Amino acid sequence: MKKIIVTLLILLCSMNWAIAQSLSNNNNHKFTVGAFAGLNMPRLTGGGGNPLSENWTSREGFAYGVTFSWNTGQHFAWRADLLYSSEGGQRNGMQGIDGQAFNPEAPAGTYFYANFKNESILNYLELPVMGKYSISLSKSSWFYVDLGPYVGIKLSARQKTSGSSIVYADPEGKQPLSEGALPFNSDENIKKSIKTLNMGITGGIGLTQKAGPGMIVFDIRGAYGLTNIQKYAKDGENHMGNLLLSLGYSIPLQ
């Protein structure tokens, strides 16, 4: 009886080892490369009490790129992406404007207010490098978490405004300064006002499912920039953050 039990234990251990090896071979395929694309929901967060950099909300953008993984174990890998990311933010309604843009004789640091639509479109080439930990859900699917730093290189920056409004001295709109509504229709290149580099932290969760020679990858990732992207103090202080939902496909190189 003891021999039977020992034999069964040996067989059970061998089966567990074989399954683990199978999962490892499927999920930790040395090197993998892939492509992805998805919906980007960026948002500018402002501070410093400057009306020009506050009260931004999310806008819809997009992102796409390539991804590379170096698997160093059954559960752990290093992941690096190179992606184009459309970011920025928007403000609709009463908001601060540079007082000197309305009245050149106004003292520096004066802010007036108007009700219009305002969209900041900032496009970056980003390189995140993350540690990635995976656990198996089945023989063909895995769940993972990843986290790491990223650097973004500014590609373009535009400020688009539309609408018309009376200019006010106060954010409540009780002290009009203009006799009638003024147009706020413009498409301005603000690349010189935004810093070239943006560095921050990114991370998220994802699911992979084996399909054909590679894997389908669904990824949810958040990012927050640690850099104040504004080059000039008069524009206030903003940090760039975003939530990215993407779908991709990766294949093993070896």
pLDDT higher than threshold 90 for residue 217: yes
pLDDT of residue 187: 96
- Which SS3 state, helix, strand or coil, does residue 20 take? helix
pLDDT bucket at 109, cuts 50 / 70 / 90: confident
Q: Which two tokens stand for residue 211?
A: 């399909």
Phi, psi of 170 (to 5 degrees): -130, 155
Between 233 and 208, name the one with better pLDDT.
Answer: 208
pLDDT higher than threshold 80 for residue 21: no
**Cβ contacts of residue 77 below 8 Å, gap of 6+?**
28, 69, 70, 71, 131, 132, 134
pLDDT of residue 186: 95
Rg (CA), the chain: 26
pLDDT tens digits for range 177-208: 999 999 999 999 999 999 999 999 999 999 99
pLDDT of residue 3: 44
Between 55 and 25, name the one with better pLDDT.
Answer: 55
Q: State which H helix or E strand residue 182 sits in.
A: strand 182-183
Buried b (16+ CB within 10 A) or exposed e, 16-36: eeeeeeebeebbbbeebebeb
pLDDT higher than threshold 60 for residue 23: no
- What does pLDDT average to over the chain? 88
pTM: 0.84
For residues 21 and 198, the answer to whether their CB atoms sit within 8 Å is no
pLDDT higher than threshold 80 for residue 11: no
Encoded amino acid at 21, one letter = Q
Query: Measured between alpha carbons, how far is 57 from 38 in angstroms, rounded to an integer?
Result: 20
Please give the share of the chain, as a percent, with pLDDT higher than 90.
Answer: 77
pLDDT of residue 29: 66
Query: Measured between alpha carbons, how far is 15 from 4 in angstroms, rounded to an integer?
Result: 16
- Which fold, 2-101+118-163+188-252? Porin (2.40.160)
Please give the share of the chain, as a percent, with pLDDT higher than 70.
Answer: 88
For residues 97 and 117, the answer to whether their CB atoms sit within 8 Å is no
pLDDT bucket at 148, cuts 50 / 70 / 90: very high
